[in-house]
Amino acid sequence: MATTVDALTSKFQALTRLVGNTPLISIHFRYRGDHRVIYAKSEYLNFTGSIKDRMALRILQNAYAEGRIAAGHTIAEATSGNTGISFAAIGRIFGHPVKIFMPDWMSQERVQLIHSYGAEIVSVSRRDGGFVGCIQMCEDFAASRADVFLPRQFSNPANCEAHEQTTGPEIWSQLWSVGKKPLAFVAGVGTGGTVMGVGKFLRQRDPAVRIHPVEPAESPTLTTGCKVGNHRIQGISDEFIPEIVQLKELDEVIAVCDGDAILMAKKLASDLGLAVGISSGCNFLAAVITQEKIGPDAAVVTVFPDDNKKNLSTALMHVEPCRPDYLSAEIELLGLSTIGRACEFCG
């Protein structure tokens, strides 16, 4: 049955209320003798539990508006997990079959969640090409059929647009509501949609805002331009620099050790009840490093992309040794407060 315009509009309306507009959390902590605050968007509160819902929704909205997707088309994407979960869920709402090409080292929870939405997974080993292989297989699949829609999250400008038009404005108005302006924004780079889109919006408001991409110290793809080493921060640093990432428009790359990110994520859960994923621990540490450079009172903002539930079978639940150079050991978490959803301040 053809999808009517009214049915489409009401589905998009319903989803718009379930995606984005997340509270901003103020995390209070003591570091090197100072009482400090870092701000983080609670992106695990999105529809399927991650920041990727923003991008998936925007890409589908644009594709429908431009007539690039039709009823019955299969949505096919290469992803390390959260994007697959978003498209699997949102695709089902619109009645699309969904096929996900995913590296075989991603957590079992990610695989099971994608299956639970009825999507198909093609699992790709390192020997068969790893992440880059996933992208090629996805393109080959689309080339073999006429009824496939490719979101192409690594090159689609709608990915950045989602964050430029939602996450960025939300951060600005939430901080404004408490009389503050962001001095810096930091985010781990998977596709780079978050850092590029939020960065573009914040720089339009204030060209002096620092925008720092973040990568694992063990696998410095942004710094070296190629895949080096391995790391344990699922969702970021996928073996290549994505097309939408324009490093020359950003400030310097911040490196965080994956073990430190794991310890920080554990600490956010055990000390504050913020049960976040490893990339959130990584982003928090990158925010502290940035604040250390620009001043202890600087309003530095980041995102908590997902929660720990997709990481229960990963290193996040194992004992992680603390190295002397890790920052997480020096951070004493004191408490949190929240700045309400951005829509609460709009007319």
Ligand X SMILES: Cc1ncc(COP(=O)(O)O)c(C=O)c1O
Q: Which residues are catalytic?
A: 52, 279
Give SS3 for 3: coil
Tokens of 10: 């009401």
* Contact between 210 and 237 (Cβ < 8 Å): no
Classify the C-alpha dihedral 233-302-243-12 as positive or negative: positive
Smallest distance from ligand X to CB 27, Å: 17
CB of 72 to ligand X, least distance (A): 27
Closest to ligand X by CB, 169 vs 188, is 188
Give whichever of 36 and 44 is closer to ligand X, judged by the CB atom.
44
Beta carbon of residue 197, minimum distance to ligand X (angstroms, whole number): 8
- Other CB atoms within 10 A of residue 333 CB: 19
Tokens matching residue 176: 């404004």
- Min CB(20)–ligand X separation in Å: 13
Helix or strand or coil: residue 307? strand
Which of 114, 116, 89, 51 lies closest to 304 in space, CA to CA? 51
CA distance 346 to 230: 44
Using CB under 6 A, list all residues that contact ligand X: 50, 52, 81-83, 188-194, 235-236, 277, 279, 305-306
Nearer to ligand X, 133 or 193 (CB): 193
- Classify residue 5 by burial, with Cβ atoms within 10 Å: 0-12, 13-18, 19+: exposed
CA-based torsion, 229, 222, 102, 18: positive or negative: positive
Q: CB of residue 48 vs ligand X: minimum separation in angstroms?
A: 11
Q: Which one, 36 or 258, has the nearer CB to ligand X?
A: 258
Q: Which helix (H) or strand (E) holds 47?
A: none
Tokens at 105, concatenated: 């080292």
If the CB atoms of residues 36 and 217 are measured against ligand X, the closer one turns out to be 217
Q: How far is CA 53 from the centre of its chain?
A: 9
Residue 34, helix vs strand vs coil: strand
